[in-house]
C-alpha cells in the first residue's frame, strides 16, 4: 500500500513508534497526570527514561495488554540498512486488543549506540497541510535528544479501530546502529488515569556498510630533477612510493592528493637507462600493481 493511500485510510499518514502518553483530557474530578496535547519529553523507555505507566500518568503494568504497537520504516534497503542523507518515512501504528480503546498517543526518539540524537525527525503533513504530530528539540535526560509525539489533533478522540502516525527521519551521516524507542498509549478516554494501556517498543536499523577501500593504481611515472612524480588513482592520505620494494619519503600533492604523489629524492636513485620497479602502498596496506620504469638516457 502506498504512503498516500495510508494517509487516506487513517485520516492522516503516520509513521514509526508509539510511546507512553497520557491521552486523556482532565474531565474527571480526581486530579490526574494525563496529557491530550503536548507531553513532557523523555518518556519512551530509552536509556535514562521512564514511561507514563511508571510515573503515575496512567495506571496498570507496562506491556500487559493484548494490543499491538508497531514501528515501520519505508525505503530501507533489502538488507534493512539505511543510507546517509536519505529521508525515510516512518509509521507508528497502534492496534487495539480485546478491550475497548478510544484515545491514542505516542512519543518516539531515535538514538545512536552511544545514546546521542540520531538524525532529524520531522512532521509529515497530509494533502490538506494537517499534521498530527509535534517535535520537541534539545531535551530529554541528556538535554540533546529530539522527540516526536502526537499533538492534540493526533489523539483521534473517539476513534476505536486504532491509530497511526507518519513522520520523516533523515540520518544526515552514517551513524552506525540507530535504535528507535517508542511508547504508545491506548486510552479509554474516561478522563482519568485508570483503565489505559501503555506499550513500549524498540527497533534497531543498521547503517549501510562503507564501500571497501580501493586499490591504488599507477597511471604515469615522471622525473623532475630529483623528484619522482607518480600519477594515478585512489591514493590515500599517507600513501608511500616504493622503489624496488624500498619505501621512499613521500608526500601527497597539495592540489591533487588522491591522484599524485611526490617522492622528493627518489629520482636521483635511478641511473640513466636503469629499469626499476615502482609501486604505491596506501596507509591501509593496499598496494598498487608494481610498474616497470626505465629512466631515459641523458
What is residue 52's predicted lDDT score, i.e. its pLDDT?
Answer: 60
Contact (CB, 8 A) for 279 and 290? yes
In 128-215, which ranges are continuous DSSP H helix? none
Domain coordinates in residue numbering, the chain: 3-207, 217-294
What is residue 3's predicted lDDT score, i.e. its pLDDT?
Answer: 38
- Higher-confidence position of 262 and 58: 262
Strand-pair category, 197-207 with 81-82: parallel
- Dist CA 93 CA 101 (whole Å): 14
Under DSSP, the state recorded for 267 is G
CA nearest neighbour of 14 among 139, 199, 156: 156
- Dist CA 72 CA 93 (whole Å): 8
CA nearest neighbour of 167 among 35, 55, 43, 15: 15
The whole-chain average pLDDT of the chain stands at: 83
User: By CB neighbour count within 10 A (0-12 exposed, 13-18 middle, 19+ buried), where does 190 fall?
Assistant: middle
User: By CB neighbour count within 10 A (0-12 exposed, 13-18 middle, 19+ buried), where does 208 fall?
Assistant: middle
In tens, the pLDDT along 103-120 reads: 999 999 999 999 999 999
- Dist CA 61 CA 199 (whole Å): 9
Of 9-18, 85-94, 100-109, least confident by mean pLDDT is 9-18
What Cα–Cα distance (Å) separates residue 62 from each residue in 59, 105, 128, 185? 9, 15, 36, 10
Residue-by-residue DSSP string for 11-71: TS---B---------S-SSS-----SSSPPS--S--TT---TTTTTSS-S-TT-SS-EEEE
Please check whether the domain covering 3-207 is classified as CATH 1.20.81.30: no
Do the two domains 3-207 and 217-294 of this chain adopt the same fold?
yes
- Dist CA 236 CA 214 (whole Å): 9
Q: What are the beta bridge partners of residue 278? A: 243, 291
In tens, the pLDDT along 211-254 reads: 889 999 999 999 999 999 999 999 999 999 999 999 999 999 99
pTM of the full predicted structure? 0.62
Q: If DSSP codes are grouped into helix, strand and coil, which group holds residue 6?
A: helix
Q: Which helix (H) or strand (E) holds 10?
A: helix 3-10
CATH topology classification for 217-294:
Immunoglobulin-like (2.60.40)
Which positions ≥6 away from 236 have C-beta within 8 Å? 213, 216, 258, 282, 283, 284
Amino acid at each position: 500500500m502506498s504512503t498516500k493511500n495510508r494517509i487516506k485510510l487513517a485520516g492522516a499518514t503516520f509513521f514509526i513508534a508509539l510511546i507512553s502518553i497520557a491521552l486523556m483530557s482532565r474531565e474527571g474530578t480526581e486530579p490526574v497526570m494525563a496529557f491530550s496535547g503536548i507531553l513532557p519529553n523523555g518518556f519512551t523507555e530509552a536509556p535514562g527514561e521512564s514511561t507514563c505507566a511508571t510515573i503515575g500518568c496512567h495506571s496498570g503494568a507496562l506491556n500487559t495488554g493484548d494490543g499491538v504497537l508497531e514501528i515501520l520504516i519505508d525505503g530501507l534497503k533489502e538488507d534493512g540498512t539505511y543510507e546517509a542523507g536519505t529521508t525515510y518515512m516512518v509509521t507508528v501504528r497502534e492496534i487495539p486488543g480485546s478491550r475497548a480503546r478510544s484515545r491514542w498517543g505516542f512519543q518516539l526518539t531515535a538514538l545512536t549506540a552511544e545514546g546521542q540524537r540520531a538524525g532529524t525527525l520531522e512532521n509529515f503533513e497530509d494533502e490538506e497541510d494537517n499534521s498530527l504530530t509535534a517535535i520537541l528539540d534539545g531535551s530529554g535526560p541528556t538535554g540533546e535528544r529530539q522527540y516526536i509525539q502526537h499533538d492534540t489533533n493526533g489523539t483521534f478522540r473517539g476513534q476505536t479501530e486504532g491509530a497511526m502516525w507518519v513522520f520523516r527521519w533523515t540520518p544526515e551521516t552514517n551513524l552506525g546502529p540507530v535504535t528507535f524507542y517508542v511508547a504508545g498509549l491506548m486510552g479509554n478516554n474516561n478522563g482519568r488515569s485508570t483503565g489505559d494501556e501503555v506499550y513500549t517498543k524498540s527497533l534497531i536499523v543498521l547503517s549501510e556498510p562503507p564501500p571497501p577501500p580501493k586499490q591504488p593504481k599507477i597511471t604515469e611515472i615522471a622525473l623532475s630533477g630529483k623528484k619522482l612524480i607518480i600519477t594515478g588513482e585512489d591514493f590515500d592520505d599517507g600513501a608511500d612510493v616504493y622503489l624496488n620494494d624500498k619505501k621512499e619519503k613521500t608526500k601527497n600533492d597539495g592540489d591533487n592528493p588522491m591522484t599524485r604523489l611526490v617522492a622528493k629524492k627518489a629520482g636521483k636513485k635511478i641511473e640513466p637507462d636503469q629499469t626499476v620497479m615502482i609501486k604505491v602502498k596506501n596507509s591501509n596496506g593496499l598496494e598498487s600493481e608494481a610498474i616497470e620504469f626505465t629512466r631515459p638516457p641523458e
